[in-house]
């Protein structure tokens, strides 16, 4: 393995361990070079690799600073996980961890504007970026309007594509409510975080072009890895 890669890994682990705190300055290139017994240019190559991945930010005349990089996740009218995360250059993935049919309780009936006790399809999704899980989400669909959607989703791996099969060409965000909780064992295991770590909980309803609710979602994001950005 090349020298600069080893040095980049060393620095990355120092950041992960907290030896270098986010927002603080890295030692100068010359100092790092002396510490590792290499030339300054070798250190520069290592730092360039970290900067490319957004872990540090170099400022000429000032120093190189450690970024606390949570992936920005903009909330807009049109909010699609794969478009947002994929568009930011990450490899997007999604997995259907469970699905079931259940009766709509009062809250769900109101949110999706359907009758109380009406059949709902519940999909449990796990979405990740660069193989790292970001979000465990529960999505509810009207089982009458979207029969067999679970099977379609398993093939499509995309809510957008699955809904398109039922003629929903576009859907937009109607309401977004954000709060926070701490992770229980279930979500912690799925998201690969420790129990008790913070989750961003986003409850949302999406509507089709006829203003009819099509989707209710509760997305639980690993707050350590992501921040919501609200565009105004």
d(CA 176, CA 55): 30
Out of 6, 118, 176, 218, the only residue in the binding site for a copy of itself (CB under 8 A) is 176
Of 44 and 157, nearer to DNA (C-beta) is: 44
Pick out residues in 43-82 that bind a copy of itself (CB under 8 A): 59, 62, 65, 70, 72, 75-77
Non-local (6+) Cβ contacts of 140 within 8 A are 108, 112, 120, 121, 122, 123, 215, 216, 217
Task: Return the number of the residue (106 or 210) whose C-beta is nearest a copy of itself.
Answer: 106
- Region near a copy of itself per CB under 8 A, out of 40-48, 85-93, 163-171, 174-182: 174-182
Site for DNA in 34-93 (CB under 7 A): 37-39, 41-42, 44-45, 47, 58-64
Contact at 8 Å (CB) between 184 and 207? no
Which residue among 13, 21, 30, 189 contacts DNA (CB under 7 A)?
30
35 binds a copy of itself (CB under 8 A): no
Count Cβ neighbours within 10 Å for each residue of 202-211 and write b for 16 or more, e otherwise: bbbbbbbeee
Does residue 232 touch a copy of itself according to CB under 8 A? yes
Burial per residue of 106-131, b for 16 or more beta-carbon CB atoms within 10 angstroms, e otherwise: eebbebbebeeeeebbbbbbbbbbee
We find the least distance from the C-beta atom of residue 108 to DNA, in angstroms, to be: 11
Which letter does DSSP use for residue 26 in this model? P
Q: Which does 44 bind (CB under 5 to 8 A by kind): a copy of itself, DNA, none?
A: DNA
Q: Which residue from 19, 8, 2 is spatially nearest to 43, judged by alpha carbons?
A: 8
Q: Are 150 and 162 in contact (CB under 8 A)?
A: no
Binding site for DNA (CB under 7 A): 2-5, 26, 28-30, 37-39, 41-42, 44-45, 47, 58-64, 106, 115-117
């Amino acid at each position: 393995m090349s020298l600069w890669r080893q040095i980049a890994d060393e620095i990355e682990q120092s950041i992960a361990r907290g030896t270098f705190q986010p927002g603080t300055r890295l030692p100068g290139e010359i100092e790092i070079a002396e510490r590792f017994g290499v030339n300054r240019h070798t250190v520069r190559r290592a730092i360039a690799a970290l900067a490319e991945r957004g872990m540090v930010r170099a400022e000429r005349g000032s120093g190189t600073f450690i970024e606390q990089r949570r992936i920005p996740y903009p909330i807009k009218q049109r909010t699609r996980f794969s478009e947002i995360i994929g568009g930011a250059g990450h490899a997007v993935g999604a997995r259907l961890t469970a699905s079931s049919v259940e009766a709509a309780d009062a809250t769900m009936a109101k949110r999706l504007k359907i009758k109380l006790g009406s059949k709902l399809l519940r999909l449990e999704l796990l979405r990740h970026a660069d193989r790292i899980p970001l979000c465990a989400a529960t999505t509810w669909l009207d089982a009458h309007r979207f029969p067999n959607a679970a099977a379609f989703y398993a093939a499509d791996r995309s809510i957008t594509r699955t809904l398109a099969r039922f003629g929903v060409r576009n859907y937009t965000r109607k309401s977004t409510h954000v709060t926070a909780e701490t992770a229980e064992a279930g979500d912690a295991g799925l998201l690969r975080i420790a129990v008790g770590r913070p989750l961003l909980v986003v409850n949302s309803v999406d509507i089709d072009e006829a203003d009819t609710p099509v989707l209710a979602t509760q997305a639980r994001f690993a707050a350590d890895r992501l921040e919501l950005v609200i565009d105004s």
